[in-house]
Amino acid sequence: MTNQKFLTIKEAAQYYSRSEQTIRRLVKQHVLTSHVRSEDTPKGKAYQVSQLLLQQEYEAPTVTTLPALVVSDSLQLENQQLRKIVAERDRTIQQLQNRLFEQGDVMNAMASQLTSQKMSHIEELLLQQKAQLGDLQKRLPAPETDEPVSDRRGLWNRLFGR
């Protein structure tokens, strides 16, 4: 490993199209290995990175191309038929979902209408009961009292007249 070529951080960043910060992070990870050298300078340490490490980290492995896949006509036809079947199934599912949403809307409208009808019926019953109560109060004889009618108003009402 002594014949390795070393690059400065700036050179490595330019050569491998990476930021200097990315190269510095790599150096920090491998600072104690033989892939990183450092020199003391008046401004601090200057690091150099081996080109071997940079190649391992940043060069993409070569991909071998595979031969083209040959598909028979019968498989292609079957594939097309299956795609049509799946598309038709998806359309059917979409139609069923739309019907469910419409039915849900109808149910909500019916529930609202039923609630409104119930409220109207309750209001009618209350009005009838109020009318019956008024009739009963009219039929009752007035209370007979021998005592003079006293002013039972509160002090505040007697003073300020209400």
Whether residue 83 is predicted with pLDDT greater than 90 in this model: the reply is yes
- Where residue 33 falls among pLDDT bands split at 50, 70, 90? confident
The single-letter DSSP state of residue 20 is H
Cβ–Cβ under 8 Å, residues 11 and 17: no
Give the model's pLDDT for residue 148: 56
Give the model's pLDDT for residue 1: 46
Measured from the Cβ of residue 83, the count of other Cβ atoms closer than 10 Å reads: 10
- The DSSP bridge partners found for residue 47 are 38
- Where residue 81 falls among pLDDT bands split at 50, 70, 90? very high
Cβ–Cβ under 8 Å, residues 27 and 68: no
Structure tokens at 30: 């491998």
| Size of the chain, expressed as the number of residues it contains | 162
Whether residue 19 is predicted with pLDDT greater than 90 in this model: the reply is yes
For 107-117, write each residue's pLDDT tens digit. Answer: 988 999 999 89
CA angle 77, 79, 85 (to 5 degrees): 105
Burial class (CB in 10 A: 0-12, 13-18, 19+), 113: exposed
Phi, psi of 48 (to 5 degrees): -130, 145
The CATH number of 6-58 is which of 1.10.10.10, 1.10.40.50, 3.40.718.10, 2.60.120.1270? 1.10.10.10
E strands in the chain: 6-8, 36-41, 44-50
Give the model's pLDDT for residue 20: 92
For 134-155, write each residue's pLDDT tens digit. Answer: 888 888 877 666 655 555 777 7
Whether residue 21 is predicted with pLDDT greater than 90 in this model: the reply is yes
Spatial distance between the Cα atoms of 132 and 147, rounded to a whole number of angstroms: 31
Tell me which of 26-30, 99-103, 155-159 is least confident.
Answer: 155-159
Give the model's pLDDT for residue 154: 77
Reduce the DSSP state of residue 70 to 3 states and report it: coil
Chain position carrying tokens 């108003």: 153
